[in-house]
Amino acid sequence: MTMTAPAGLAPEDTLRVSDLGSALDRFPHVKLLSLDCFDTILWRRAGHPADVFYDMQQQPAWKAVGLDARLRIRAEMQARSLVQLRRGSHEVTLEDIYRAACDDLAPEMLESLQEVELQAEERACHAMPQAVALLRAAAARGVQVMVVSDTYLPEPLLRRLLAACLPADAYAAIHRVCVSCEYGKSKADGLFPLLASRLNLPVARMLHVGDNPLADVFPARAAGIACLHLQHLPEMLESRRQFAATALRLLEPSVCSERGAPAGYHPVIAGIALDGDDADRSIGIATLGPLMHAFASWLLAHREAQQSLGKRVKLAFLLRDGYLPHAAYEALSGQTDGRPVCISRFAAFAASFRDAGDIERYLALFATSGEYAAMLKQLGLQGEEGDRILEALQGHPSPQSEFNRRVLHPRMVAKITERSACYRARLRKYLDRELGGLERGDTLAFVDLGYVGTAQRVLAPVMRDEWGVELLGWYFMCTPQAGDANGGRCGMIDASKFDARTIDTLLPFVSLLENLCTTSTGSVIDYTEQGAPILSQGATTKRQTERVRRIQEHALDFIRQAEAHYEAGGARPAIDSLRDAALAEFSRMVFFPDRQELAHYDQFALELNLGTDRIIRLHDTDHSLQELRRHGIFYSSRQGEG
- pLDDT above 90: residue 601: no
Across 466-594, where does the E strand assignment appear?
470-477, 489-493, 524-527, 533-535
* Contact in structure between 91 and 79 (CB atoms under 8 Å): no
Record the pTM.
0.89
The sign of the dihedral angle between the CA atoms of 15, 17, 22, 28 is: positive
Residue 493 confidence (pLDDT): 95
Residue 278 confidence (pLDDT): 85
Between CA 10 and CA 14 the distance in angstroms is 7
For residue 231, the cross-strand partners are 16
Question: By three-state DSSP, how is residue 161 classified?
Answer: helix
Residue 613 confidence (pLDDT): 47
Q: Residues of the chain with pLDDT > 70: what percent?
A: 91
Residue 615 confidence (pLDDT): 47
Phi and psi angles of residue 61, each rounded to the nearest 5 degrees, phi first: -65, -40
* Contact in structure between 283 and 551 (CB atoms under 8 Å): yes
Measured CA to CA in angstroms, residue 507 lies from 143, 217, 484, 532 at distances of 54, 45, 18, 32
Q: Grade residue 159 by pLDDT with cuts at 50, 70 and 90.
A: very high
pLDDT in tens, 454-508: 899 999 999 999 999 999 999 999 987 765 656 688 999 999 999 888 998 898 8
- Bridge-based pairing state of the strands 605-607 and 615-617: antiparallel
On the CB side of 319, CA atoms within 13 Å amount to 21
Between CA 384 and CA 387 the distance in angstroms is 5
For residue 178, the cross-strand partners are 148
Nearest residue to 145 (alpha-carbon basis) of 226, 210, 206, 218: 206
Residue 241 confidence (pLDDT): 93
CA dihedral 436→442→448→454, nearest 10 degrees, is 120
Between CA 536 and CA 374 the distance in angstroms is 13
Measured CA to CA in angstroms, residue 515 lies from 142, 423, 511, 554, 577 at distances of 53, 28, 6, 15, 26
pLDDT in tens, 373-428: 999 999 999 889 999 999 999 989 999 999 999 999 999 999 999 999 999 999 99
Residue 6 confidence (pLDDT): 63
**Chain-wide mean pLDDT for the chain?**
89
Contacts of range 54-60, beta carbons closer than 8 Å, 24 or more positions apart: 54/256, 54/258, 54/259, 54/260, 55/120, 55/123, 55/124, 55/260, 56/116, 56/117, 56/120, 59/116, 59/120
**What type of residue sits at position 310?**
G
Between CA 507 and CA 450 the distance in angstroms is 7
- The mean per-residue pLDDT over the stretch 195-214 comes to 95
- pLDDT above 90: residue 210: yes
Residue 253 confidence (pLDDT): 86
- Bridge-based pairing state of the strands 206-210 and 615-617: unpaired
- The mean per-residue pLDDT over the stretch 262-276 comes to 87
Q: Grade residue 640 by pLDDT with cuts at 50, 70 and 90.
A: very low
On the CB side of 62, CA atoms within 13 Å amount to 19
- pLDDT above 50: residue 247: yes
Between CA 230 and CA 228 the distance in angstroms is 6
* Contact in structure between 125 and 165 (CB atoms under 8 Å): yes
Contacts of range 467-471, beta carbons closer than 8 Å, 24 or more positions apart: 467/428, 467/438, 467/440, 468/439, 468/440, 468/441, 469/438, 469/439, 469/440, 469/441, 469/442, 469/443, 469/444, 470/311, 470/442, 470/443, 470/444, 471/444, 471/445, 471/446
The residue with greater pLDDT, 106 or 480, is 106
- The mean per-residue pLDDT over the stretch 600-605 comes to 68
Rounded to the nearest 10 degrees, the angle between the axes of helix 94-101 and helix 107-124 is 120
* Contact in structure between 428 and 400 (CB atoms under 8 Å): no
Rg (CA), the chain: 30
Residue 634 confidence (pLDDT): 46
pLDDT in tens, 562-592: 999 999 988 899 999 999 999 999 999 999 9
Phi and psi angles of residue 295, each rounded to the nearest 5 degrees, phi first: -65, -45
